[in-house]
Each structure stands twice: as C-alpha cells, then as structure tokens.
C-alpha cells in the first residue's frame, strides 16, 4: 500500500491551508475524507502497478523486496487488494459528492493506463505524475467549495513536475543506458525551466491573495527549490519525493516552517 507515500495526498489540504480554514471542523473533516479517498485509491494503483512490473522489479536490487515481486503476495490476492482499495476510495469520493467521484475516477483510469503503457512514454510520464498532484489540489478545493487562483494551481503543477523530473533523473543516473549522459543533461534543462516556473507562479500567487504578507514566505520557497536542485544535481540523491521529505532534514524543516508561516498569516 506504500503508506509512506500518502504524504503526497496532503496536497488536498492546500485549499483550507491557504484559505485560512485549517481549523474549521467541517472543512477539515470533508478534506480528511478526500485525503483517505485518494490514499486508498493510490494504494490500489500501487498493487496493480507492482503486478504489472513484477518481472522488472525482481531484477531491481531495491524493488525486488516488494511483497508481490518477492512472492509474499500472490497475483490473485494482489488484484483483489487493488480492486477493494480502488472501490473503497471511489465509494468515499462518491459519498462526498459526484464531482469528487469524477476526479478520482479519472485519476484511476489515467494511472491504470500509466502502469500499463504510458510510464514508458518520454515526457508523458512526468506530465501524468504532475496531473496527479494537481488533481489532489483541485479535489481539496472542490470538496470545500474554495476558489483557488490559477497561479497556485500552476505552482502545484510546476512543483510536481520538478519532483517527478528529479526522480526520473535519479533513475536514469542509476541505469546503464547508452545515452545516460545526454538524458541527464536533458532532464537538467527541463528542471531549470520548471524551477523558474515555480518561483514565478508562486510570486504572482502571493501578490494575488488578500493577505499581502504571503510574500514573506517567498524566501522559504526559494530555499526549498534551490536545496532540492542541490540534492538532485550535487548529492545525486533525489529518489522518491516522499523519501526526500523525511530523509533530508533541511527540506523537512523548510516545509514545517513554511506551513507554520502560512497558518500564522492566514489563520491567526
């Protein structure tokens, strides 16, 4: 189920965090339901993905320990688990409202296609990952009926692209592909463009809110983006985004300080 990766689903809380509704019980409750809807659905997708990649994972020194690749869980049990988790996520979403169901259903369909074929299509793979993060953010705004500015949505898109490209760069650097150097250089160029997009969109987002003090959070965003680039290009240790969050202390501290600053500005 990769519960550690449920940290990605915290993006559904973005709407109430930036709107100043984080301590509103009703908004927090429905957002938490959306969080679990996405979490169960994503875990179902992970089961399905591990079944599809079972032979490839067995050849990978890290992924070979996954339960399905290691033979601890059979394929039929894996398919059953995937189905139950996806149905549970869709049911919770439907109980919230029909638009939420549509968003998560679209996420399921696209990610099933991703697992089967699209993750092997260059550039399309990272765009689909980015779509997943944007979906989480939009769902959080939808269930609470909060309007999110286009600048923030774009900021989430660029941020998710940066994380996805960082992981792809790590995977390429660990591979034995003949064009490895050229591919790494290409990904580096894309990351530079995306990092600039994050900074530009976030700056415009802070200026487009009613609370102009949000501009004071910009240094934390700059530090977070720059330090992530340092992790990727200098330390060569990007890996999975959730691992970066809890293994890289400077990133974790930056995230905590950032959330605290936003709460102070928007809620207090």
pLDDT digits (tens, 9 = 90+) for 52-89: 989 888 887 778 888 898 889 899 999 999 999 999 99
Q: Return the structure tokens found at 81.
A: 């688990």
For residues 130-158, average pLDDT:
93
For residue 246, pLDDT beyond 90: no
Query: Within the chain, what is the greatest distance between any pair of CA atoms?
Result: 55
Please report the pLDDT score of residue 95 as a whole number: 95
For residue 101, pLDDT beyond 80: yes
Cβ contact 80:74 at 8 Å: no
pLDDT category of residue 244 using cuts at 50, 70 and 90: confident
Q: What is the 3-state secondary structure (H, E, C) of the chain?
A: CCHHHHHHHHHHHHHHHHHCCCCCHHHHHHHHHHHHHHHHHHHHHHHHHHHHCHHHHHCCCCHHHCCCCCCCCCHHHHHHHHHHHHHHHHHHHHHHCHHHHHHHHHHHHHHHHHHHCHHHCCCHHHHHHHHHHHHHHHHHHHHHCCCCCHHHHHHHHHHHHHHHHHHHHHHHHHCCCCCHHHHHHHHHHHHHHHHHHHHHHHHHHHHCCCCHHHHHHHHHHHHHHHHHHHHHHCCCCCCCHHHHHHHCHHHHHHHHHHHHHHHHHHCC
For residues 219-246, average pLDDT:
84
Candidates 239, 169, 157; CA nearest to 198 is 157
> Rounded CA gap, 109 and 128, in Å?
11
For residues 3-23, average pLDDT:
90
For residue 191, pLDDT beyond 90: yes
Cβ contact 46:115 at 8 Å: no
In Å, how far are 6, 97, 119 from 110, measured between CA atoms?
Answer: 19, 21, 11
pLDDT category of residue 98 using cuts at 50, 70 and 90: very high
Least confident of 64-68, 83-87, 179-183, 188-192: 179-183
Whether pTM > 0.75 for this model: the answer is yes
Please report the pLDDT score of residue 63 as a whole number: 81
Please report the pLDDT score of residue 177 as a whole number: 63
- The chain-wide mean pLDDT, for the chain, equals 90
For residues 154-162, average pLDDT:
94
Please report the pLDDT score of residue 33 as a whole number: 96
Cβ contact 226:191 at 8 Å: no
Give the CA dihedral 226, 230, 236, 239, nearest 10 degrees.
-30
For residue 238, pLDDT beyond 70: no
Please report the pLDDT score of residue 239 as a whole number: 64
> Rounded CA gap, 107 and 114, in Å?
10
For residues 144-167, average pLDDT:
92
CA 87 centroid distance within chain: 21
For residues 114-141, average pLDDT:
91
> Rounded CA gap, 46 and 249, in Å?
27
């Amino acid at each position: 189920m990769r519960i550690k990766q449920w940290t990605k689903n915290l993006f559904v809380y973005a709407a109430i965090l930036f709107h100043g509704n984080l301590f509103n019980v009703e908004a927090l409750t429905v957002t938490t339901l959306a969080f679990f809807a996405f979490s169960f659905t994503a875990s179902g997708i992970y089961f399905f993905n591990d079944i599809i990649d079972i032979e490839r994972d067995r050849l990978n020194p890290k992924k070979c320990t996954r339960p399905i690749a290691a033979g601890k869980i059979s394929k039929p049990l894996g398919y059953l688990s995937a189905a139950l988790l996806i149905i549970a996520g869709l049911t919770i979403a439907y109980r919230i409202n029909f638009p939420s169901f549509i968003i998560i259903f679209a996420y399921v369909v696209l990610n099933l296609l991703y697992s089967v074929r699209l993750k092997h299509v260059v550039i399309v793979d990272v765009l689909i990952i980015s779509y997943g993060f944007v979906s989480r953010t939009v769902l959080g705004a939808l269930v609470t009926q909060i309007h999110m500015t286009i600048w923030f949505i774009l900021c989430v898109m660029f941020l998710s692209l940066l994380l996805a490209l960082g992981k792809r760069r790590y995977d390429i650097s660990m591979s034995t592909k003949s064009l490895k150097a050229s591919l790494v250089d290409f990904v580096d160029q894309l990351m530079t463009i995306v990092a600039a997009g994050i900074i530009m969109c976030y700056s415009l987002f802070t200026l487009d809110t009613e609370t102009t003090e949000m501009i004071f959070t910009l240094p934390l965003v700059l530090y977070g983006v720059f330090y992530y680039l340092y992790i990727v290009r200098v330390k060569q240790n990007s890996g999975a985004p959730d691992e970066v969050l809890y293994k890289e202390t400077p990133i974790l501290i930056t995230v905590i300080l950032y959330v605290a600053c936003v709460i102070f500005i928007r809620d207090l």
